[in-house]
Structure 1
């Protein structure tokens, strides 16, 4: 993954949220993050969707909706859940048969 794409994935990292793990798949995205107390998760997701949709539509020469209206979130209650979520996110491309190891998928925090 080029430095610019990584930079975009982490655009407000450490300002509005702290990225813990992420993975961009062909048809969906997984993100594990900790929000700042004053920032709502919904506002973060809206900004990501707006920015990424504009960039993707520009690259594809199209217009219109790209992302589903809603998103799925989970509250992480303890270290066991955190570890499970991070492992699941970074193993997602391996489970989908897109690569042999999490580090081999360039669109993921595992590739850092």
Structure 2
């Protein structure tokens, strides 16, 4: 649903397909240490914020998730907290990484994006919004799961979706456990 502040989540406990993109589509997640912050943060939200992860995929500059939450937690609050925490943690990791050859360039872009957005104090890592799509039918759920799992294949990163470690394709296609515990639909 579109509101005056962008897309909003009407049913806080329904299953939603969510996408987060890095500002300027910067390929931050080509480095394991930054991708691991996202993975660890998703696990934290599962354990502490009622987050149910049904499917996921982290690409070089964006993240696809199929999520829901359990009461009393609200999906929009959990997503807000997740984005806020990962923004700070990833920017800190970039700024403190002595091996990061793109450090000055990336931090400049994140700082410029933050200055251009009155909702931020200094840096902006994620693009504003997440365009939630409520998955209220099996057809929508199936198409979104297939879409996010095939993303690394379409990008030419892997030949088969289950070869990509930063997604739930391994869980879905082989029955093995991937990096994040999945709540199958």
TM normalised by structure 2 equals: 0.53
Cα distance in 1 between the residues matched to 2:65 and 2:83: 13
- 1:86 correspondence with 2:120: no
> 1:54 aligned to 2:88?
yes
Aligned partner of 2:67 in structure 1 is: 33
- In the alignment of these two chains, the number of paired residues is 111
Larger CA Rg, structure 1 vs 2: 2
Alignment of 1:1-112 (within 5 A): 5=36, 6-13=39-46, 15-61=49-95, 62=107, 64-111=123-170, 112=178
Cα-to-partner distance string for 1:85-110 (whole Å, 9 max, x where unaligned): 11111111111222211122121112
Quick check: 2:64–2:148 contact (8 Å CA) kept in 1?
Answer: yes
Instruction: Measure how far apart 1:37 and its partner are.
Output: 4.1
For residues 75 and 54 of structure 1, the distance between their equivalents in structure 2, rounded to whole angstroms, comes to 28
Which moved further from structure 2: 71-80 or 33-42? 33-42
TM (norm. structure 1) is 0.83
Runs of at least 5 residues in structure 1 that lack an aligned partner in the other structure:
none
Q: Determine the C-alpha separation between the residues in 2 that align with 1:69 and 1:19.
A: 21
- The farther-off stretch of 74-83 and 7-16 is 7-16
What residue ranges of structure 2 are gaps of 5+ in the alignment? 1-31, 96-106, 112-122, 171-177, 179-185
CA distance in structure 2 between the aligned counterparts of 1:69 and 1:41, rounded to whole angstroms: 16
Q: CA RMSD in A?
A: 2.3
